[in-house]
């Protein structure tokens, strides 16, 4: 019989980041509320390459509707996981755009130390403003909602 292998530290860190990424997606959906949402994450990797992933979701009274393939979901989740794990990602930004008439609304977070932190409105406005010769929809920017963190007690999940 062979001895069971001890889990490597890197595997534990990555597994923890996967769990946080899944919890974070759930928290984002709760914070963004009803509507059609486009989530975009852009990450600058430590090897000086930039990667991005998009995820489109609709949340309402009916069941959750998704307009992406399993491959797109896995790409988004993997990039979010590695941004949260932060050993191979130097900097990452996540922007949520909600379709609204007459203009879409956007809020965003930067990833630091394995957590999402709301972006300053001015920084986000600069990030989502299209370049002069690019045709892109105008987005109204608003402060990102606070995201609940399942590892911290709140009124609803405190263990007093």
pLDDT digits (tens, 9 = 90+) for 35-69: 888 999 999 999 999 999 999 888 776 666 666 67
Burial of 37 (0-12, 13-18, 19+ CB in 10 A): buried
Please give the share of the chain, as a percent, with pLDDT higher than 70. Answer: 75
Q: What whole-number distance in Å separates Cα of residue 4 and Cα of residue 85?
A: 26
- For residues 133 and 1, which has the higher predicted lDDT (pLDDT)? 133
């Amino acid at each position: 019989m062979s001895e069971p292998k001890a889990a490597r530290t890197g595997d534990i860190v990555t597994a923890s980041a996967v769990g946080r990424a899944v919890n974070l997606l759930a928290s984002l959906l709760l914070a963004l509320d009803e509507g059609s949402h486009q989530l975009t994450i852009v990450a600058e990797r430590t090897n000086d390459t930039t990667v991005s992933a998009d995820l489109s979701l609709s949340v309402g009274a009916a069941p959750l509707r998704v307009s992406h393939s399993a491959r797109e979901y896995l790409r988004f989740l993997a990039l979010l996981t590695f941004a949260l794990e932060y050993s191979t990602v130097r900097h990452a930004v996540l922007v949520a755009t909600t379709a609204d008439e007459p203009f879409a609304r956007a809020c965003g977070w930067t990833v630091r130390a394995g957590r999402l932190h709301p972006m300053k409105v001015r920084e986000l406005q600069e990030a989502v403003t299209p370049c002069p010769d690019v045709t892109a929809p105008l987005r109204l920017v608003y402060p990102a909602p606070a995201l609940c963190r399942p590892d911290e007690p709140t009124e609803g999940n405190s263990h007093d």
